[in-house]
Amino acid sequence: MHHVLNRALLAGALALAAGTATAADKIKVGFMLPYSGTYAALGAAIENGFKLYVAEQGGKLGGRELEYFKVDDESNPAKASENANRLIKRDQVDVLVGTVHSGVAMALAKAAKGSDTTLFVTNAGADAITGPMCGTGIFRTSFSNWQPGYAMGPVAAAKGHKTAVTITWKYAAGEEQMKGFHEGFEKAGGKIVKDLTLPFPNVEFQSLLTEIASLKPDMVFAFFAGGGAVKFVQDYHASGLGKTIPLYGTGFLTDGTLKAQGDAAQGLLTTLHYADGLGTPRDQAFRAAYSKAYDNMQPDVYAVQGYDAAQLMQAGLQAVQGNIDDKAKFRAAMRGATIDSPRGKFTLSAAGNPVQDIYLRQVAGLENKMIEVAVPKLADPARGCKL
Ligand code: PHB
């Protein structure tokens, strides 16, 4: 007995001296997320989702315990490289999990690639991350901005809308989701009469709403999220515009926001890769576990994306028996995994982005109720990715 123990201790000491990890060491996970600002609730939901899956596995992935490091990125692209390097260089994390804001995520992906650190993108849709910036160590468990934007195109055209005005924050997420909508709507015969923007994270919408009233399009298509989405939906409703010009959006407009939006959001139609009322046993089990773990809170799309990052990591770690230093095998196993997500099963494209159903949802009470699959198994075109 003593012998065995001593030998294990010796092996540990040797490994430590050589700077290599052993199965007894914890895997270091770095969360780079917004814990303040307009996206604060989104960051919290991602972390909750990730930790729920780990708890369901008895606190371990691939048989190893995890140690968490956290940075509040404030959704501030100007501080993104420095924040990423805190986790990479100072904390020496094994994997990065983040983030919400596309501009911050592009800097994070660059830092991850530069240091060959595996990255799980748990929200930010920046098309470039699974486009020109793609890499074998970069995985997204959320969406590309193009995906939910594109999916609304055929839906809106089928409702008879011929003209649209788009409105969003002027940065990658908004611009790319609107671009996706342009592509889907124009292909289906629609025409965009004007693209309106304001700087992130501003919420002074009045002059833009006045402009929409004078342009009189058949519909409006919007991307806002978090605190900004709450204010936009309320202002649109208060302006009375909704009576003549219906508002549509990507699902971020109404996900995790319905309690605060109240009456203003009722009936809104959005497209997203998750919905309430999917009714599958997998989703129901996830939702019950989430609300039990987190004070009766209902999960949203952000919680699902965090949960699935942990599931994906588990698939990779199982393939290498917890030896995360076997990067090539760890990553290859994840690239080939099928994830049994609450949203429905999905696989990853060669570029590392989910190939997934995009749902049409409608707000009813506190739910984004699933109406139908708007586009099944939608794959991002991954323009510019050489993988
Ligand atoms: C993004 O910046 O990519 C982003 C942020 C919030 C969302 C969706 C996308 O809800």
CATH of the domain at 327: 3.40.50.2300
92 with 209, same domain: the answer is no
R_g of the chain, CA atoms, integer Å? 22
Total domains in the fold of the chain: 2
What's the gap in Å between 75 CA and the centre of ligand 1? 10
Evaluate whether residue 154 is within a structural domain: yes
255 with 344, same domain: the answer is no
Instruction: Among 38, 102, 230, say which to mutate for ligand 1: greatest number of ligand atoms within 8 Å of CB.
Output: 102
Evaluate whether residue 263 is within a structural domain: yes
Nearest CA to ligand 1 atom 5: 101
Tens digit of each residue's pLDDT, the chain (387 residues): 344 445 544 454 545 444 555 667 999 999 999 999 999 999 999 999 999 999 999 999 999 999 999 999 999 999 999 999 999 999 999 999 999 999 999 999 999 999 999 999 999 999 999 999 999 999 999 999 999 999 999 999 999 999 999 999 999 999 999 999 999 999 999 999 999 999 999 999 999 999 999 999 999 999 999 999 999 999 999 999 999 999 999 999 999 999 999 999 999 999 999 999 999 999 999 999 999 999 999 999 999 999 999 999 999 999 999 999 999 999 999 999 999 999 999 999 999 999 999 999 999 999 999 999 999 999 999 999 999
C-beta of 134 in contact with ligand 1 (< 6 A): no
What's the gap in Å between 103 CA and the centre of ligand 1? 10
Evaluate whether residue 151 is within a structural domain: yes
Instruction: Among 106, 143, 145, say which to mutate for ligand 1: greatest number of ligand atoms within 8 Å of CB.
Output: 145
**pTM of structure:** 0.94
Whether 365 and 322 have beta carbons less than 8 Å apart is answered as no
172 with 196, same domain: the answer is yes
Whether 36 and 100 have beta carbons less than 8 Å apart is answered as no
C-beta of 46 in contact with ligand 1 (< 6 A): no
110 with 53, same domain: the answer is yes
Whether 198 and 205 have beta carbons less than 8 Å apart is answered as yes
Evaluate whether residue 284 is within a structural domain: yes
129 with 163, same domain: the answer is no
User: DSSP state, 251?
Assistant: G
Select from 272, 306, 334 the last residue of a domain: 272
219 with 267, same domain: the answer is yes
- Calpha distance 312→349 (Å, rounded): 14
- Residue 235: which domain range? 146-272
* Beta-bridge partners for 368: 363
C-beta of 102 in contact with ligand 1 (< 6 A): yes
Among the atoms of ligand 1, which is closest to the Cα of residue 302? 10
Among the atoms of ligand 1, which is closest to the Cα of residue 125? 3
- Would you call 127 helix, strand, or coil by DSSP? helix
Evaluate whether residue 9 is within a structural domain: no
What's the gap in Å between 140 CA and the centre of ligand 1? 13
Evaluate whether residue 370 is within a structural domain: no
181 with 246, same domain: the answer is yes
What's the gap in Å between 54 CA and the centre of ligand 1? 24
158 with 254, same domain: the answer is yes
Select from 238, 272, 306 the last residue of a domain: 272
Evaluate whether residue 357 is within a structural domain: no
C-beta of 182 in contact with ligand 1 (< 6 A): no
196 with 101, same domain: the answer is no
31 with 139, same domain: the answer is yes
